[in-house]
């Protein structure tokens, strides 16, 4: 009998946890041919999320929990779940029912029907709920990263996916601190089948992602999966060197022929501003990579567990 581990990262989701549990229980009842493990990861919630999970785990021995010492972010919660999950197949699912549990059955069937497949993942093709600005930046991000990075990023990809044990082991073996899952999932390779669906509205609670956080997350993705910006900044440097050499020759020749007329300081100031802007921008790019290297080198733990359910097998990593 196959075992599926469902990892559910939760951050301040006291309202959603019981609703989610009810929904997933229906699916578990239906899929009699599989054993289930529900692994809730409490990512330092400040509400009663942890109490809810603990209560569920007392009533239902399929339910297990991990609780962090503080909020480490969804990426860390997903990693902890992947490290502790014991199933043959592992799914990651949001607690807000935007990743509908009933899709799990279809995903499992798809995965089973083709022995070549290692993963069935979901993506959305409609961003109707996004405003104009968010849509614009989302498209821009995927355009930039697909041009710059060798790792393929699928537009509209969710974190909702069902993976084989082998693929999960590969993901967990990537011990980097700055984790950008969408990239990691793709980097490890294996065969993924994409199913398309429309994301339903969040059932309760509210999203913790605002525009600024998403923007920073997008930059993280670019920094983690391509170093092309460094090359671009070096190229800009070379181009401007070339332009300045031509300009110097032009000025020297002109002075020799027509004499020196002191004029045109506004244009010089404009050029200075422009060039120092570009210099700062390029230094910023190098700085961004340096800071990522710094956090990587420190080798701090990606998450710290304060409490976990007793029956949870030790992380094998």
By C-beta, is 13 or 118 nearer to ligand UDP?
13
Around Cβ 68, how many Cβ atoms within 10 Å? 24
Asked if residue 95 binds ligand UDP (CB under 6 A), the reply is yes
Q: How far is the CB of 238 from Mg ion (least distance, A)?
A: 44
Q: How far is the CB of 251 from ligand UDP (least distance, A)?
A: 54
Asked if residue 98 binds ligand UDP (CB under 6 A), the reply is yes
List 13, 75, 96, 159, residue binding Mg ion (CB under 5 A): 96
By C-beta, is 44 or 205 nearer to Mg ion?
205
List 25, 71, 98, 124, residue binding Mg ion (CB under 5 A): 98
By C-beta, is 27 or 117 nearer to ligand UDP?
27
Binding characters for ligand UDP, 51-80, by CB under 6 A (x = yes): --------------------x-xx--x---
Around Cβ 37, how many Cβ atoms within 10 Å? 21
Asked if residue 10 binds ligand UDP (CB under 6 A), the reply is yes
By C-beta, is 22 or 143 nearer to Mg ion?
22
Tell which positions 192-221 bind ligand UDP, by CB under 6 A.
Answer: 202, 207-209
> Given the rule CB under 6 A, which residues bind ligand UDP?
9-11, 13, 43, 71, 73-74, 77, 94-96, 98, 202, 207-209
């Amino acid at each position: 009998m196959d075992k599926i581990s469902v990892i559910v990262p939760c951050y301040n989701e006291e309202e959603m946890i019981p609703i989610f549990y009810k929904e997933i229980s229906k699916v578990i009842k239906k899929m009699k041919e599989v054993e289930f493990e529900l692994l809730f990861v409490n990512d330092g919630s400040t509400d009663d999320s942890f109490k809810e999970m603990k209560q569920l785990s007392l009533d239902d021995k399929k339910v297990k929990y991990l609780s962090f010492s503080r909020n480490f972010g969804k990426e860390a919660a997903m990693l902890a779940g992947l490290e502790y999950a014991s199933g043959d197949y592992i799914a990651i699912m949001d607690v807000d029912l935007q990743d509908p549990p009933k899709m799990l059955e279809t995903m499992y069937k798809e995965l089973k029907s083709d022995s070549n497949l290692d993963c069935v993942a979901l993506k959305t093709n409609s961003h109707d709920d996004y405003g104009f600005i968010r849509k614009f930046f989302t498209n821009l991000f995927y355009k930039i990263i697909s041009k710059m990075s060798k790792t393929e990023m699928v537009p509209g990809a969710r974190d909702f996916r069902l993976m084989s044990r082998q693929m999960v082991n590969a993901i967990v073996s990537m011990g980097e601190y700055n984790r950008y899952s969408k990239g990691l999932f793709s980097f490890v390779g294996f065969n993924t089948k994409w199913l398309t669906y429309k994301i339903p509205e969040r059932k309760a609670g509210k999203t913790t992602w605002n525009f600024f956080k998403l923007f920073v997350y997008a930059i993280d993705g670019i920094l983690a999966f391509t170093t092309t910006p460094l090359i671009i900044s070096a190229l800009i440097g070379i181009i401007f060197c070339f332009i300045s050499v031509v300009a110097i020759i032009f000025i020297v020749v002109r002075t020799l022929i027509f004499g020196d007329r002191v004029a045109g300081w506004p244009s010089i100031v404009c050029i200075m501003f422009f060039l120092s802007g570009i210099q700062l921008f390029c230094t910023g790019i190098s700085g961004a990579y340096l800071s990522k290297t710094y956090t990587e080198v420190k080798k701090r733990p990606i998450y710290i567990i304060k409490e976990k359910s007793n029956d949870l097998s030790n992380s094998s990593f």
